[in-house]
Structure 1
């Protein structure tokens, strides 16, 4: 059985149209990027374009902001993460624990995809659960995972280029 389809279309209008077309098939539509990357994260709910929303605390402005979005949307929520270390996963776990209801499993297992983590005790799912704790970040792990000078320059250059693009877009 298919639990839901996540962000099958790029725009809110496309999601709404698809939802209307497949409603009879009982396939729930989940909105992720249309919430997380939108100027108005509630546009999906207001348009009736999804059956549930996927929320990631960091890009939505933190735990409290994500809670407000879930409450205002009035839709079931899935708490998920990007490729996060235990620090980011902890934020997602705290958000999930703070929501009054979770009808779907959370997507908070990405630490297991990394070779190493910044925490002394990485937050990886065990029997489908992750503890709601504040991870202890290890200085020695941070040192071991530090990017080399070339990679650091690459990222700084990328951030500068992105800033210029965003600065230009805001000026328009």
Structure 2
């Protein structure tokens, strides 16, 4: 498996995996895949990765800003999605390991993630790679008219901002 930088022409396959995640009902509050332009404008350009197996994208990961305030320039929120056929095969682990390294090279000292409590595989992945639970937002928003909780995780770099 190859982990490489995501490029614009990857969007069709990335969007398909994103749609699978949306369809689970526990990966995101999004209810439809955005356009590439919208997604592109809301994610950092330097920390976007895809996992490629046999010329097919099987997962992706990217960072987005948590705030436009300059004091948060080293803090980013992460997204990591694995295609349905590749779940449980270490794709998420490889993507997140590479994303952590790339984020540190880019000067990010904190990565954070909000995870639905029923997304057990995502929680285990984050904990395995050094993220710690920092909070719990009860009934923070609705998805399809159902109130959803969100568990907050963060990982502080041991190289940047120490």
Identify the structure with the greater helix proportion. 1
Give the structure-1-normalised TM-score.
Answer: 0.29
* Bigger relative CO (Cα 8 Å, ≥ 6 apart): 2
Q: TM-score scaled to structure 2, two decimals? A: 0.30
Q: Give the greater-gyration-radius structure (CA).
A: 1
More strand, by proportion: 2
